[in-house]
Amino acid sequence: MQDIAYLDQLAAKRHALQELWGAALPEELLADYTVAPAVEPFGYRLRMDYVCSDDRFGLRVRKRFYAIVDLQECHLIPPSLFPLLRTVYTAARELGIPDYNVYHNTGFLRYLVVRRNVRDEWLLSFVTSEQAYEAQMDAVAEAARTAGAASVWWLLNPRHADLSFGEPVKHWGAAHLPQYVLGRTLLMGPNTFFQNNVRGFEQILSYMTPFVAGADRLIDLYAGVGTIGICLAEHVGQVFAAELSDESVELAQRNIHLNRLDERVSVVRSDVAAVLDDARLARGSGNDVLIVDPPRAGLGPEVCGLLRERGPQRIVYVSCNALTQVVDYELLRERYDLVAARGFDLFPQTYHCEHVVVLERKAIA
């Protein structure tokens, strides 16, 4: 959406979200409904996945999967970073490292993925289709370190599925990159989820705070490396977090320790449905707050069914896909009232928007 003035982008997102949620929002919420503007309209992203294909280094053309725009600059990360990444790609090609053809599924180097922190330190991952060109990979990792990468990872994705994640082969430099959120330090790894716009996400954490403050127990589901639970821990008694990915759970445990929260925050590796099935988390004290922050697919009918049956008094639902969030809400509304809703433009220049709703269990249920 870079060709659209930012305030018009914001108005379009607000209009779309209001259309989507209008019927669900009580009148008093509709009157106040807002989408918080981006803190930084450009250069905000903390992760970018650049395709390496047929001598092109860049991004796909919207809706044309095989067409790659060979980028010379990128406005979604700080302007000084992109040229460094391009230099690394050029070094890889000059070292004889072939890139990848998605159409024929041939070649080697599929993606260069950069993750940076708010202090502009960065981690670079090379995603390749096989484990080969070992000497050249050592040399290009060295080039990346010289360009400024604090951490370099080699990830393997031998499957046809076009994923920019993979099995770690090796790394050079630091294994993890620290991220800084509301005064907390959180380690992220090459494959772990992390919020892509920390300054924007800090606004969401502040918005959520009054809805969780004073809870005896905060249950943080889809917890990633523990960001939400760790950042809100000071406002609640205990935090209980659950996450499916091994790599994320391992880092969540380290992050809890790093922030000296071992006494108050715990994390388990578990599917969300299994956690909600657990009797320990069944509705009890009436003072639990549950946070859900699922992937784009949303919660789905099984999790919504469990929440209808045994969900806590309050649910704060953070979503990067309001389309699935509204479908989930339809499954929950029999037992929950919508008491607050707000959009947060964490993804300016794109069609995406973060959306938070707060649900309160109906008195009669």
Select 64 or 280, whichever has its Cβ closest to ligand SAM: 280
* Under rule CB under 6 A, residue 228 binds ligand SAM: yes
Give the nearest distance from C-beta 273 to ligand SAM in angstroms: 7
Residues 50-69 that bind ligand SAM (CB under 6 A): none
Residue 308 tokens read as 């209808």
Answer whether 274's CB lies under 8 Å from 255's CB. Answer: no
* Closest-approach residue to ligand SAM (CB): 224
- The dihedral region occupied by 256, where left means phi > 0, alpha psi between -120 and 50, and beta the remainder, is alpha
Give the nearest distance from C-beta 28 to ligand SAM in angstroms: 29
* Under rule CB under 6 A, residue 347 binds ligand SAM: no
* Under rule CB under 6 A, residue 165 binds ligand SAM: no
Q: Which of 74, 231, 304, 320 is catalytic?
A: 320
* Under rule CB under 6 A, residue 222 binds ligand SAM: yes
Gap between the Cα atoms of 186 and 124, Å rounded = 18
With H, G, I as helix, E, B as strand and everything else as coil, classify residue 351.
coil
Answer whether 216's CB lies under 8 Å from 233's CB. Answer: no
* Under rule CB under 6 A, residue 191 binds ligand SAM: no
Give the nearest distance from C-beta 192 to ligand SAM in angstroms: 7
Q: Which of 52, 74, 231, 354 is catalytic?
A: 354
> To the nearest 10°, the Cα dihedral for 229, 231, 235, 241?
10
Per CB under 6 A, the list member of 37, 98, 224, 311 interacting with ligand SAM is 224
Per CB under 6 A, the list member of 49, 162, 250, 271 interacting with ligand SAM is 271
Is 354 an annotated catalytic residue? yes
With H, G, I as helix, E, B as strand and everything else as coil, classify residue 275.
helix
Task: State the burial class of residue 23 (Cβ atoms within 10 Å of its Cβ: 0-12, 13-18, 19+).
Answer: exposed
Answer whether 175's CB lies under 8 Å from 189's CB. Answer: yes
CB atoms within 10 A of CB 328: 22
Select 107 or 166, whichever has its Cβ closest to ligand SAM: 166
Nearest to 307 by CA among 276, 274, 345, 341: 276
* Under rule CB under 6 A, residue 190 binds ligand SAM: no
Residues 234-253 that bind ligand SAM (CB under 6 A): 242-245, 248
* Under rule CB under 6 A, residue 179 binds ligand SAM: no
CA-based torsion, 239, 195, 338, 40: positive or negative: positive
Is 94 an annotated catalytic residue? no
Select 58 or 298, whichever has its Cβ closest to ligand SAM: 298
> To the nearest 10°, the Cα dihedral for 242, 341, 200, 265?
-30
Helix ranges (DSSP H) in 198-356: 198-212, 227-232, 246-258, 272-277, 300-310, 322-332
Give the nearest distance from C-beta 195 to ligand SAM in angstroms: 5
Select 106 or 185, whichever has its Cβ closest to ligand SAM: 185
**Can you give the length of the chain in residues?**
365
Residues 277-316 that bind ligand SAM (CB under 6 A): 293-295
Question: What residues have CB less than 8 Å from 94, skipping those under 6 apart?
Answer: none
* Under rule CB under 6 A, residue 117 binds ligand SAM: no
5-13, 60-68, 138-146, 190-198 -> range binding ligand SAM (CB under 6 A): 190-198
Give the nearest distance from C-beta 270 to ligand SAM in angstroms: 7
- Judged by the rule CB under 6 A, the positions of this chain that interact with ligand SAM are 193-195, 222-224, 227-228, 242-245, 248, 271-272, 293-295
Instruction: Kindly list the catalytic residues.
Output: 320, 354
